């Protein structure tokens, strides 16, 4: 009695398990089938594939000929590709020449300034001015002091009144003859003169009063 009840109860439990396993197997089969169909690539009907590269080369670089037995043969010609086009060469722009900036603070009757201008500045300028690589700025003032006096200034120079007048003459030359080729030789001539009269007689013969 007990054994019959046990087997009946066992059959009731195993049947649902069987259906569950069957459902799981069917589900796994569907997943596997979908994965196969996704990887399939449809090919167009009777698609023409391009010829292999060797045939393409054969058509382009071969020549048919007849031999002595009237048999058709082909002779492959060597590849003679055209030379590559010449590429333009980029030429870098010329480098800007270095220009030496020189500023000279001077006074008209200083012996040291006179020696420097006559023995160093003027010879160097005559050699290098044509290269345009030397830019000289002259400041004729020196050890002077100026105070405002009405609409003008009153200046006291280290070597006296004549030096102040010669400094003024040099500054006028720089203002009215801005080209260094014009005012540097003129200032070099005025430098070291005793007074304005000597400077006019020696250095300003080639210039009119309108120039200054």
- Among candidates 93, 183, 186, 180, which has minimal Cα distance to 133? 180
Tell me, what DSSP letter sits at residue 39? T
> Residue 147 phi/psi, 5° resolution?
-130, 150
Average pLDDT on 99-112 reads 93
The pLDDT tens digits for 8-55 are: 555 555 677 777 788 788 878 877 777 766 555 455 555 555 555 544
Tell me, what DSSP letter sits at residue 185? H
- Among candidates 145, 56, 131, 122, which has minimal Cα distance to 100? 131
Residues forming beta bridges with residue 106, ordered by sequence position:
140
**Model confidence band, residue 122 (pLDDT cutoffs 50, 70, 90):** very high
Assign residue 104 a region (left: φ > 0; alpha: ψ between -120 and 50; beta: otherwise).
beta
Quote the mean pLDDT of the chain: 77
Which pLDDT score, from 0 to 100, does residue 154 have?
A: 87
Q: How many CB atoms lie within 10 A of CB 129?
A: 15
Element (H, E) at 205: none
- Cα 31 to chain centroid, rounded: 63
Average pLDDT on 64-74 reads 61
């Amino acid at each position: 009695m007990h054994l019959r009840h046990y087997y009946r109860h066992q059959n009731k439990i195993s049947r649902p398990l069987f259906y569950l396993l069957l459902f799981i197997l069917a589900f796994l089969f569907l997943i596997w089938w979908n994965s196969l169909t996704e990887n399939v690539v449809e090919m167009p009907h009777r698609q023409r594939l391009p010829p292999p590269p060797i045939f393409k080369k054969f058509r382009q670089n071969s020549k048919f000929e007849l031999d002595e037995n009237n048999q058709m043969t082909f002779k492959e010609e060597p590849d003679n590709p055209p030379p590559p086009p010449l590429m333009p060469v980029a030429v870098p722009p010329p480098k800007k020449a270095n220009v030496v900036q020189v500023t000279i603070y001077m006074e008209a009757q200083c012996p040291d300034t006179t020696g420097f201008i006559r023995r160093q500045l003027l010879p160097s300028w005559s050699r290098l001015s044509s290269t345009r690589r030397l830019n000289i700025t002259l400041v004729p003032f020196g050890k002077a002091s100026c105070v405002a006096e009405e609409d003008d200034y009153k200046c006291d120079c280290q070597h006296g009144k004549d030096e102040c007048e010669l400094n003024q003459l040099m500054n006028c030359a720089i203002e009215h003859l801005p080209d260094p080729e014009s005012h540097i030789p003129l200032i070099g001539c005025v430098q070291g003169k005793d007074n304005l009269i000597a400077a006019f007689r020696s250095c300003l013969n080639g210039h009119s009063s309108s120039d200054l």
